[in-house]
Chain A
Amino acid sequence: MILSRILEEKLGSLYRAGGRIVGGVYLGRGQEAFSAAAGNNLRYGKDVYGPLIRDQAGRIAYGEPLLDTLRTYLGVVTGPMRGRDGNIHRGRPKDGYMAMISHLGSLLSVVAGALFARRLRGTLEDSVGATSIGDGGTSTGAFHEGLNMAAVEKLPLVVSIANNQFAYSTPTTRQYACEDLVDRAIGYGVEGYSVDGTDLLACVATFRTAFARARAGHGPQLVVGRLLRLGGHGEHDDASYIPDSAKHKHEARDCIEVAKKQALEFNWATEADFRTWEEEARRDVDAAQAIASKEPTPDPYRETWHALSTSELVEGQHG
Chain B
Amino acid sequence: MSITYLEAIREAQYEALRTDPNVFLYGQDISTFGGAFKATKNLSREFPGRVFDSPISEDAMIGMAVGAAVEGARPIIEMQFADFSSVGFNQIVNQAATLYWRTSTPCPITIRMPSGGTPGSGPFHSQSMESIYAHYPGIVILTPATVEDAYWMLLESVKLNDPVIFCEHKFLYYHLKSEGFGESLPIGKARIARPGRDATVVTYSAMLHEALKSAEELQMDGYQVEVVDLRSVKPMDTDTILASVSRTGRLLAVGEAFPWGGVTSEIIARVSSEAFHMLDAPPMRLNSKDTPIPYHPNLWKSHRPTTSSITAALRDLLRY
Q: List chain A positions with a Cβ less than 8 A from chain B.
A: 48, 80-81, 84-85, 89, 91-94, 96, 98-99, 101-103, 106-118, 120-121, 123, 141-142, 145-146, 148-149, 152, 306-310, 312-315, 317-318
B69 contact set on A, CB distance < 8 A: 113, 117
B161 contact set on A, CB distance < 8 A: 309-310
B49 contact set on A, CB distance < 8 A: 120
In angstroms, Cα B58 to Cα A106, docked, is 12
| Contact assessment for B59 and A98 in the assembled complex, using a CB-CB cutoff below 8 Å | no
| In the assembled complex, B120 has its CB within 8 A of some CB on chain A | no
| Contact assessment for A94 and B162 in the assembled complex, using a CB-CB cutoff below 8 Å | no
B59 contact set on A, CB distance < 8 A: 106, 109, 141-142, 145-146
A273 CB to nearest B CB, Å:
38
Partner of B235, one of A115, A152, A313: A313
| Contact assessment for A309 and B106 in the assembled complex, using a CB-CB cutoff below 8 Å | yes
* Most chain B C-beta atoms within 10 Å of own C-beta, residue among A91, A94, A102: A94
Please name 29 pairs of A and B residues whose Cβ atoms are closer than 8 Å in the assembled complex, sorted by A.
Answer: A94-B103, A94-B105, A96-B71, A101-B95, A102-B94, A103-B94, A109-B61, A109-B91, A110-B66, A113-B69, A114-B68, A116-B64, A117-B67, A117-B70, A117-B71, A118-B71, A121-B73, A142-B60, A142-B90, A145-B59, A148-B55, A149-B54, A149-B60, A307-B98, A307-B100, A310-B140, A310-B160, A310-B161, A313-B187
| In the assembled complex, B65 has its CB within 8 A of some CB on chain A | yes
* Most chain B C-beta atoms within 10 Å of own C-beta, residue among A48, A89, A110: A110
| In the assembled complex, B224 has its CB within 8 A of some CB on chain A | no
Nearest opposing residue in chain A for B236, CB measure: A315
In angstroms, Cα B54 to Cα A307, docked, is 29
| Contact assessment for A106 and B63 in the assembled complex, using a CB-CB cutoff below 8 Å | yes
Nearest opposing residue in chain B for A113, CB measure: B67
In angstroms, Cα B58 to Cα A306, docked, is 27
B59 CB to nearest A CB, Å:
5
Task: List 12 extra interface pairs beyond A80-B103, A113-B66, A309-B106, CB under 8 A.
Answer: A92-B103, A93-B103, A103-B95, A106-B63, A110-B70, A113-B75, A117-B24, A117-B68, A121-B73, A313-B140, A313-B162, A318-B274
In angstroms, Cα B161 to Cα A306, docked, is 13
| Contact assessment for B60 and A109 in the assembled complex, using a CB-CB cutoff below 8 Å | yes
| Contact assessment for A315 and B234 in the assembled complex, using a CB-CB cutoff below 8 Å | yes
Interface size class of chain B, counting residues whose CB lies under 8 Å from the partner chain: 35 or more
In angstroms, Cα B92 to Cα A142, docked, is 13
In angstroms, Cα B106 to Cα A146, docked, is 22
In angstroms, Cα B102 to Cα A85, docked, is 6
In angstroms, Cα B162 to Cα A116, docked, is 20
| Contact assessment for A112 and B67 in the assembled complex, using a CB-CB cutoff below 8 Å | yes
B108 CB to nearest A CB, Å:
9
| Contact assessment for B67 and A89 in the assembled complex, using a CB-CB cutoff below 8 Å | no
| Contact assessment for B95 and A110 in the assembled complex, using a CB-CB cutoff below 8 Å | yes
| Contact assessment for A146 and B70 in the assembled complex, using a CB-CB cutoff below 8 Å | no
B235 contact set on A, CB distance < 8 A: 313-315
B268 CB to nearest A CB, Å:
13
Tell me whether A116 and B68 are in contact in the complex, defined as CB-CB below 8 angstroms, given that A148-B55, A308-B162 are known contacts.
yes
Partner of B70, one of A84, A98, A309: A98
Tell me whether A89 and B102 are in contact in the complex, defined as CB-CB below 8 angstroms, given that A101-B95, A121-B72 are known contacts.
yes
A152 contact set on B, CB distance < 8 A: 55
In angstroms, Cα B105 to Cα A80, docked, is 11
Kindly supply a per-residue 1/0 record for chain B positions 72-107, scoring 1 wherever the CB is within 8 Å of any chain A CB and 0 otherwise. 110100000000000100110011011111110111
In angstroms, Cα B94 to Cα A22, docked, is 21
Kindly supply a per-residue 1/0 record for chain B positions 148-168, scoring 1 wherever the CB is within 8 Å of any chain A CB and 0 otherwise. 000000000000111000000
| Contact assessment for B73 and A145 in the assembled complex, using a CB-CB cutoff below 8 Å | no
A96 contact set on B, CB distance < 8 A: 71
B60 contact set on A, CB distance < 8 A: 108-109, 112, 142, 145-146, 148-149
| In the assembled complex, B138 has its CB within 8 A of some CB on chain A | yes
| Contact assessment for B64 and A99 in the assembled complex, using a CB-CB cutoff below 8 Å | no
| In the assembled complex, B315 has its CB within 8 A of some CB on chain A | no
Tell me whether A93 and B63 are in contact in the complex, defined as CB-CB below 8 angstroms, given that A118-B71, A308-B140 are known contacts.
no
Nearest opposing residue in chain A for B159, CB measure: A310
A308 contact set on B, CB distance < 8 A: 100, 138, 140, 162
